[in-house]
Structure 1
Amino acid sequence: MAACGSNMDRGIVISDEWCGYSVDLFTFPSHYSGDLDCVLIPHGLILDRAERLARNIMDDLGDHDIVVLCVLKGGYQFCADLVDRIKALSRNSNRTIPMRVHFIRLRSYLNDQSTEDLQIVGAEDLSFLSGKNVLIVEAIVGTGKTMKTLLQHVEAFRPKLIKVAGLLVKRVASSLACVPDYTGFEIPDRFVVGYALDYNEFFRDLDHICVISEKGKLKYKI
């Protein structure tokens, strides 16, 4: 079983001092002009890191059937790219990973604040996970409360094994040390958008992971 804090591989660590790249160096939808402070992680670097994580997963789980549990909505792009790279490795290797993909949705944010009201949609009956190897794919882990709750929910269905792949892990003071088994990047405690991560459903159409500006927060606040 997976457990919070079971793996201390921090991935690529982005320091608090890193101010990011100027958005003027990259292409992005013009309707977000002025809404972004910086590009924190360019799209190409995300894809390269996803390929490395796919190799790590292949090394650990090769020749085992797995169920990929994609956490929506923010995790859909990372999950799609990660699964594509695992499939490519399976096609060009003596080892293979037969995969099924299932989708669930977590909702806990209002504007840029996490709330205590966590909703798990699409996870009412996960009995098919019983005895299976499960790979949970999540875009971002902050305090760890959401991931801990999800792990407890999945464990109730008695899978054989649970691993977690998280693209981003935030360094936050109230962290429960819920570290994914496969981590893409450790980032400062800043509100990021893009690569399917949103702010009130906006910014999912950005390719890069960016830091939203205060102007952007006000513009799209509900």
Structure 2
Amino acid sequence: MRGIPDDWPGYSPDLFTYPEHYSGALDCVYIPHGVIMDRTERLARDIMDDRGDHDIAVLCVLKGGHQFCSDLVDCIQVLNRNSSKSLLMTVDFIRLKSYLNDRSTPDIQMIGAESLSVLTGKNVLIIEAIVDTGKTMQTLLTHVRAFKPKLIKVAG
């Protein structure tokens, strides 16, 4: 997928409906919700094609990843219902904290990490909203690998 060029002016806010309290505050819309949902559905199709009939354990990284995870899982479930393949999914949650207020900290707290033994031997899909420096994701991947999953993929 091609990225958005640095000089992309975005779409005029006049093309969209948005809450009145944003009036005057929006210069442009870079990625409309419909485009995000189309890409999410495409990603769900890719996951279905890639995993086929192999079960998958979804690990949603909270707090930011909850909406993306929900949308992606919904798309996978719709495709699963309308497919000759059957993909069994389980969804678990983990919360990672690497910021205190608005500052990055060297330590990463994992909340919910004690229940990750369910990932042993599974195909794991980690769903994260934002991968910034990658430090938090690397820490999570190291932790998940300790449970010896069959496969790990990251969607974000």
TM over 0.5: yes
Structure exhibiting the larger radius of gyration computed from Cα positions: 2
Local SS of the residue matching 1:41:
coil
Q: Paired residue for 1:18?
A: 8
For the pair 1:122 / 2:94, whether they are aligned, the reply is: no
Q: Any idea what the Cα deviations from partners look like across 1:181-210, whole Å, max 9, x if unmatched?
A: xxxxxxxxxxxxxxxxxxxxxxxxxxxxxx
For the pair 1:100 / 2:90, whether they are aligned, the reply is: yes
Q: Paired residue for 1:137?
A: 127
CA-CA distance at 1:106 after TM superposition: 1.8
Larger RCO (alpha carbons 8 Å, 6+ apart)? 1
Q: Any idea what the Cα deviations from partners look like across 1:15-36, whole Å, max 9, x if unmatched?
A: 2222322334322233344555
CA RMSD of aligned residues (A): 1.9
List structure 1 runs of 4+ shifted beyond 6 angstroms: none
Gaps of 5+ in 2: none
CA-CA distance at 1:126 after TM superposition: 0.9
Q: Paired residue for 1:190?
A: none
- Report the Cα distance in structure 1 between the residues aligned to 2:38 and 2:6, rounded to whole angstroms: 22
Q: Any idea what the Cα deviations from partners look like across 1:52-91, whole Å, max 9, x if unmatched?
A: 1011101110101111001111111111111111111111
Q: Paired residue for 1:63?
A: 53
Residue 42 (structure 1) aligned to one of 11, 29, 32: 32
Residue 120 of structure 2 aligns to which amino acid in structure 1? Answer: S
Aligned pairs for 1:166-185 (under 5 A) are 166=156
- Report the Cα distance in structure 2 between the residues aligned to 1:145 and 1:129, rounded to whole angstroms: 21
Q: Paired residue for 2:140?
A: 150
Q: Paired residue for 2:154?
A: 164
Q: 1:37 to 1:144 in 2, by over 3 A?
A: farther
- Report the Cα distance in structure 1 between the residues aligned to 2:69 and 2:105, rounded to whole angstroms: 24
Q: Any idea what the Cα deviations from partners look like across 1:99-127, whole Å, max 9, x if unmatched?
A: 0011111222443x544342221112311
In the comparison of the two structures, how many residue pairs are matched? Answer: 155
More helix by share: 2
TM-score, scaled to structure 2: 0.88
Q: How many percent of aligned residue pairs carry the same amino acid? A: 70
CA-CA distance at 1:128 after TM superposition: 1.2
Q: 1:124 to 1:32 in 2, by over 3 A?
A: farther
Q: Paired residue for 2:67?
A: 77
More strand by share: 1
Gaps of 5+ in 1: 1-10, 167-222
